[in-house]
Structure 1
């Protein structure tokens, strides 16, 4: 798996939610902050305004995509000067994988697609931490055609769910997240970003090293082998990697192995010993010590705890948007 694929695989716990809302003027809602979540809004018909957590209102038109990766509160309205009614909508609740609703008054219609993920603390990739509070991808003819096509498929599945819709909607939501991140990082690369993950992913040498780490975390990586992959000297590679990624190369390898192990403990039935072997640890004891240093609890207890959290999440009462 490459880095962006891993970001999406790690970012979600439990299942996502999605809602297609037909808003009738006058309308306006404020969505409360939901720490540990990521949300995107898409305008399918009409126009509206996003009231961001900071800064001026943002006008949105058909095809515009807004991604809020940090769970910040925001408003959505047909009139930036109008009142905003309270809403309890958020990915910490579970209205079902997809739902539809009509809200507001009796005037002009705006249709939005709202989707969200719950993110468990400590399980997200650092790329997300460096994203801005709002990513706005406005409609521009010919730009992001894959994202537009995926959104059209997603809206169709939510409007008319048929056999296999659960799997299709979940997969399409992952695709949307990937296309949003890909588009944003491409724009950052075009802007010649100098530091951070946008620069790391745009740097051919560092990107190659990250790619092999993510594709084969169990390999016995050394500073020499990673520098060779990157085509740099050891000192030059270590300096550039640490500056852009925020961790020294081998520290990142260890961190990524343990993140991969945590995902395996959450999502598979592999034993703790099997997980240790698959991520490159020679013994279950060594793996257990490393895992406890990173997560504060032993692997077996972590698995039980996350299973309990998932069960609690699934048992929450359904509610309407």
Structure 2
């Protein structure tokens, strides 16, 4: 796994959800803050997006937005008055067939692809934490063709019920998230992690640690793998990532262990071995110090797998 894939896999839980939303005329709808990440893609027409805090954002056909921290927001027609956002109808009422549903066809018609990803913020990688409240990816001819292809495929799957759709849709939603984060990184983000992944020393060290977190890493061994001196590795890595290499490794081992406890039925000893701890006791002690609970209790609370002792 590469760093970006690991960062997204660690924070994701459960299955994502999505639907197509159509409206016309004058309308506004509120999506409350939630534990997860959301997205909207404008398939037709245009609209406005208003964060609970921030300036209105105008969206046009082909635009995509990612709200990686589940920030509450309002969607409204392109000519809507932001001052009237307080009267917005909850999104759930517009999609469950209840009253106050806007017209689906007519002047100002808009069609959106909307979705949510569930996340566990206790395991948020700093790369994901650094994403802004809203990532706006305007439609550009030839820009991010893989993102456009994923949007087209997902929109088609949601428009028609086809054989295999229950497997295809969640997979395409996962792919869409990857492409939106990748596009944000490629757009020249000024964030710390764009610099980290662009630095040959820090990026190489992270790739090595993520490729084999259970290895018996030391600063000397990691520096040799990267091809630099130990002082150079320590200086560059710490300055960019914000913590020394071995401190980052400890954090990632425990974060990865939490993912394994959540998603697998591996015995505690196997999880400990996969993340670089020689004994279940040493692993349990480190895990409890970091998460405030034992691995077994964490699995029983968070996982879909069978509980483990410890």
Assess same fold via TM > 0.5: yes
Q: Distance in 2 between matches of 1:272 and 1:247?
A: 28
CA contact (8 A) 1:196 1:246 kept: no
User: Which residue, 184, 199, 209 being the options, matches 1:213?
Assistant: 209
* Structure 1 segments unaligned to the other structure (5+ residues): 91-98, 310-321
Equivalent residue in structure 2 for 1:262, among 258, 261, 271: 258
Q: Which has the higher contact order (CA 8 A, sep 6+)?
A: 1
> Could you say which residue in structure 2 is the equivalent of 1:185?
185
Query: Once the 2 structures are TM-superposed, how far is the Cα of residue 11 of structure 1 from its aligned partner?
Result: 2.3
Q: What SS does the corresponding residue of 1:247 show, helix, strand or coil?
A: coil
Say yes or no: does 1:232 pair with 2:228: yes
Using the alignment, how far apart are the partners of 1:110 and 1:27 within structure 2?
A: 11
TM-superposed CA distance for 1:188, in Å, is 2.5
Q: Are 2:145 and 1:145 equivalent residues in the alignment? A: yes
Deviation, structure 1 residue 2: 0.4
Q: Is the 8 A contact 2:260 2:266 kept in 1?
A: yes
Q: Is the 8 A contact 1:21 1:113 kept in 2?
A: yes
Offset of residue 86 of structure 1: 2.9
* C-alpha RMSD of the superposition: 2.3
How far does the alpha carbon of each residue in 1:256-288 deviate from its partner, in whole angstroms, 9 at most, with x for none? 111111111111110001111111111111111
CA offsets per residue over residues 33-74 of structure 1, 9 Å max, x none?
A: 22x311111000111111123332111111101111111111
Q: After the TM superposition, which residues 102-181 of structure 1 pair with which residues of structure 2 at under 5 Å, given as runs?
A: 103-105=101-103, 107-108=106-107, 109-181=109-181
Structure 1 residue 304 and structure 2 residue 300: aligned? yes
How many residues end up aligned between the 2 structures? Answer: 297
Q: In structure 2, the residue corresponding to 1:17 is in which secondary structure?
A: strand
Alpha carbons 1:29, 1:76 under 8 Å: kept: yes
The aligned counterpart of 1:72 is 71
C-alpha separation between the residues in 2 aligned to 1:306 and 1:89?
Answer: 26
Q: Which deviates the most, 141-150 or 227-236?
A: 227-236
Q: Distance in 2 between matches of 1:290 and 1:186?
A: 36
1:86 aligns with 2:89: yes
Question: 1:146, CA displacement in angstroms?
Answer: 0.2
In structure 2, the partner of 1:200 is 196
Instruction: For residue 308 of structure 1, report the CA deviation from its aligned partner.
Output: 7.6
Alignment of 1:282-297 (within 5 A): 282-297=278-293
Distance in 2 between residues matched to 1:47 and 1:168, nearest whole Å: 27
